[in-house]
Amino acid sequence: MEPKQLIDIAINAALQAGDKIMEVYASDDFGIVKKHDSSPLTIADSEAHQLISQLLATTGLPLLSEEGIHQPYVERAQWKTFWLVDPLDGTREFISRNGEFTVNIALISENQIIAGVVYSPVSNELYVGIVGLGAWKMLQPDSNCTVDHISQYGTRLPVRNTNQPYTVAASRTHLDQQTIAFIDDLKKQYPDLEIIRKGSSLKFCLIAEGVATIYPRFFPTMEWDTAAGHAIVKAVGKNIYHTDRQTEITYNKENLTNPYFIVL
């Protein structure tokens, strides 16, 4: 399949997973448990993972999901093209009911991001990016939404505001001292600097839209946290770099933890 055909399937999977997540979101019991790293897991995480896994299995590509089995590196190293998924990015935001959580589905080839889908179920906003083709945002996508549909009827990114001040996207739940120091240094150059704090991969979407200028991350993340958002920003000509601001981050490493990074 061509990337567009694959992403059409990913869009459908993200939208259906979003519906499943919202069913749990409307309930009184999230079924919260703690994972081995003490991070929370809800019924919504598990059910979204199962649904996405089933729908993406039709493509015949391997899948690496936060909530699935993490295959040993000796096996993953043989993968040329695969899906990298976070079924519910922003579980803490989900639990706190602030609405800032997303479904993330990314397509990786030769350790590089090539396409991705980010869906925000509460705001009903869909972001799609294919490197080399572009990125788009669609409000209230219907269940049959495709790349062709969103590219025709959605908003092509970025949407620029020339009068916008220098703006930093920052995590809602992880604003560490290194990030604060980084922002303080930026304020010396941009006294009118503004900060937007958001949960999940919505920070990448702010960069892709042109609403935010830079997103520094000096707190641990995993590959599935960044891959779909990476596709969106790379499709508009921006990127995720190591802190040297030159070296692009890559995927399917032996250690799935990301390095600290800067998006711009």
Q: Is 191 left (phi over 0), alpha (psi -120 to 50) or beta?
A: alpha
pLDDT at 93: 95
Q: Which of 57-66, 73-82, 158-167, 180-189 has the lowest average pLDDT?
A: 158-167
CA–CA separation, 183 and 105 (whole Å): 30
Q: Indicate whether this model's pTM tops 0.75.
A: yes
Q: Of the segments 23-27, 157-161, 170-174, which one has the largest average pLDDT value?
A: 23-27
CA–CA separation, 207 and 159 (whole Å): 10
Q: How confident is the model at residue 1 (pLDDT cuts 50, 70, 90)?
A: confident
CATH 3.40.190.80 holds for 167-263: yes
Could you read off the pLDDT of 21-55 as tens digits, one per residue? Answer: 999 999 988 988 888 777 888 999 999 999 999 99
Give span(s): CATH 3.30.540.10, the chain: 3-157
- One-character DSSP codes across 58-98: GGT--EEETTS----HHHHTT-SEEEEEEEEE-HHHHHHT-
Averaged pLDDT of the chain: 95
CATH of domain 3-157: 3.30.540.10
- Is the separation of the CB atoms in 76 and 252 below 8 Å? yes
Give span(s): CATH 3.40.190.80, the chain: 167-263
